[in-house]
Chains A and B, each alone.
Chain A
Amino acid sequence: MTVQNLIEKLDLKILSEGDLSLPVKGCYCGDLLSWVMSRAQEGDAWLTVMGNINAIGVAALTESACIILVDDAALDADALKKAGENGITVLQTDKDAFSIAVWINRLLNPEN
């Protein structure tokens, strides 16, 4: 499943468009950046409410497939700029992290 597939299946709004052909391999939920930094895996869709510039840095360093801002959390203007510079895809939804995570699990593991 690619980021593009995820956007279509979950009706996510694109705030910043990076490489939408990146594969989504997993999912991580969290807002404490140190915590995310040490636990998120490359290729994860990262679900958070943290839309600041440092979140973009963490997504770049962990090589997340995309950031999904849940509960309509906002993306700061300077974070939007940095996301563009770093090619980080930032998506947004009005749904909460639990709902989105459950859907990602279903999409990644259709047999379950």
Chain B
Amino acid sequence: MDPVRLHYDISGSDFTTAGEASGKIKKTLKSLGFSPAVVRNVTIAVYEAEINMVIHAGGGAIDADIFPDRIEVVLKDEGPGIQDIDLAMQEGWSTAPENVRQLGFGAGMGLPNIKKYSDDLQIESEVGRGTTIRITVQNK
């Protein structure tokens, strides 16, 4: 069975649209009848990854494939990359600038939240080239 495919281009310059892609994915999942728990897990994970793209990478692209048994989301950017992924996975570790922190972001919860709310998280990152994040949430 072919998945339901969604694609979004994320602008890196402005916070005013950040969260729109995760909102639209959420609506689609709800309309497809996924349970509130699954919808919530996907929404939180994608929202955090989307915000990361805006804060750190100057935007990027989000592709979501919705299968009956799982949701796979790939977020690809051409930003600065992550220098130390182990460090970035620690709660509280953040390289977000002060102006971003004043907006209520940059608490160092992004990647840990993505891991917490997904069943599988793969991060490929090359400094100076960009980062690709693959999130899988199983439909349990």
B binding-site residues for A, Cβ under 8 Å: 15-16, 18-20, 22-23, 26, 36, 43-44, 47-48, 51, 103-105, 107, 109-110, 113, 116-117
Contacts and interface: CB of A to CB of B under 8 A. Distances in A.
A2 B136 CA distance: 36
A38 B109 contact: yes
B18 A38 contact: no
Judged by DSSP, the binding face of B is: helix
Contact of B22 (A33, A52, A55, A61): A61
Contacts, number: 59
Interface in A26-50: 31-35, 37-38, 42, 50
Contacts of A17: none
A71 interface: no
Contact of A42 (B36, B51, B105): B36
A22 interface: no
A37 B15 contact: no
A84 interface: no
B23 A54 contact: no
Q: Among B36, B103, B117, which residue has the most Cβ atoms of chain A within 10 A?
A: B103
Nearest to B45: A38
Interface of A: 31-35, 37-38, 42, 50, 52-55, 57-58, 60-61, 78, 82
Nearest to A53: B16
B47 A37 contact: yes
B109 A78 contact: no
A33 B113 CA distance: 12
Given A57-B23, A61-B23, A61-B26, A33 B104 contact: yes
Q: Among B19, B36, B109, B110, which residue has the most Cβ atoms of chain A within 10 A?
A: B19
Given A53-B16, A54-B19, 17 more contacts: A32-B104, A32-B105, A33-B107, A34-B51, A35-B107, A35-B109, A37-B44, A37-B47, A42-B36, A52-B103, A53-B15, A54-B103, A57-B47, A60-B19, A61-B19, A61-B43, A61-B47
Contacts of B18: 54, 57
